[in-house]
């Protein structure tokens, strides 16, 4: 996108739970520019951001996390990334480290390290459903499935696997306007999803003479109290 920050916001508005941002730069200058964009995305996006791509050493994981990303990804198709797993995990915390892979054999080969120092995984470029089963045989960690092409109704088949915690890739990007309906379908099939639902109906509140309800406004990320305000029905349903 010519405006990746705006694109990220549009994904959030459509109901995306998380954003995975890949730095595809090649030169040092491009890398610095990509990190600046990642920082802007983290500042403007409502969803948590996972940063990936262009990791060569521990310092690169540090730079990704310092942009505001909640987690950073090690590329397990590169042996150099495998080798720094313990170092970055001990430095920043296991919960902040994910790995991406294409072949489940790399998981079996590094199983002890992965179970000890990584909190989740991304199965890249899914070609065969069988690869999901192979991944679950190799590791019990939760993992995202990266899919380039798949109809939204077919994505339900991915969630039948217990360890699949999310779907990403162009199959989701191209159908971002269907996220809400996909979540509804998940709920009907007993798949837990993140949804924002009010605990009370608007009719249950006692309103003032203007039909408004007093509310304490908080920052949804930090819970910081911002102000006392008055809410109408539209504001209640929106937030």
Q: pLDDT, tens digit, for every residue of 7-59?
A: 999 999 999 999 999 999 988 899 999 999 999 999 999 999 999 999 999 99
Radius of gyration for the chain, computed over Cα atoms and rounded to the nearest angstrom? 20
Which of helix, strand or coil describes residue 235? helix
Tell me the pTM: 0.84
On whether the CB atoms of residues 118 and 143 are closer than 8 A, the answer is no
Alpha-carbon torsion angle 159, 160, 163, 166, nearest 10 = 0
Mean pLDDT of the chain: 93
Joined together, the tokens standing for residue 8 give 């990220």
Task: Decide: 181 and 188 in contact? Cβ < 8 Å.
Answer: no
Q: What's the rounded Cα separation, in Å, for the pair 70 and 92?
A: 11
* pLDDT band per the 50, 70, 90 thresholds, residue 237: confident
Residue 20, token pair as written in the block: 């995975």
pLDDT of residue 48: 95
- Rounded to whole angstroms, the Cα distance separating 141 from 136 reads 8
């Amino acid at each position: 996108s010519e405006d990746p920050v705006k694109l990220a916001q549009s994904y959030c508005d459509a109901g995306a739970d998380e954003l995975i941002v890949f730095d595809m730069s090649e030169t040092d200058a491009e890398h610095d520019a990509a990190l600046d964009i990642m920082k802007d995305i983290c500042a403007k996006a409502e969803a948590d951001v996972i940063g990936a791509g262009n990791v060569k050493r521990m310092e690169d994981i540090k730079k990704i996390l310092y942009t505001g990303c909640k987690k950073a990804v090690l590329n397990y198709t590169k042996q150099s990334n495998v080798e720094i797993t313990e170092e970055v995990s001990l430095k920043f915390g296991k919960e902040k480290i994910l790995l991406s892979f294409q072949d489940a054999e790399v998981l079996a080969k590094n199983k002890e390290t992965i179970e000890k120092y990584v909190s989740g995984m991304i199965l890249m470029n899914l070609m065969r459903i069988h690869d999901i089963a192979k991944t679950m045989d190799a590791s019990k960690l939760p993992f995202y499935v990266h899919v380039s092409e798949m109809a939204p109704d077919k994505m339900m088949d991915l969630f039948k696997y217990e360890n699949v915690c999310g779907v990403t890739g162009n199959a989701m990007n191209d159908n971002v306007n269907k996220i809400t309906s996909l979540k509804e379908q998940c709920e009907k099939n007993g798949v837990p999803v993140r949804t924002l639902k009010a605990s009370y109906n608007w009719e249950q509140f006692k309103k003032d003479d203007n039909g408004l309800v007093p509310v304490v406004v908080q920052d949804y990320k930090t819970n910081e109290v911002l102000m006392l305000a008055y809410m109408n029905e539209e504001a209640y349903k929106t937030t």
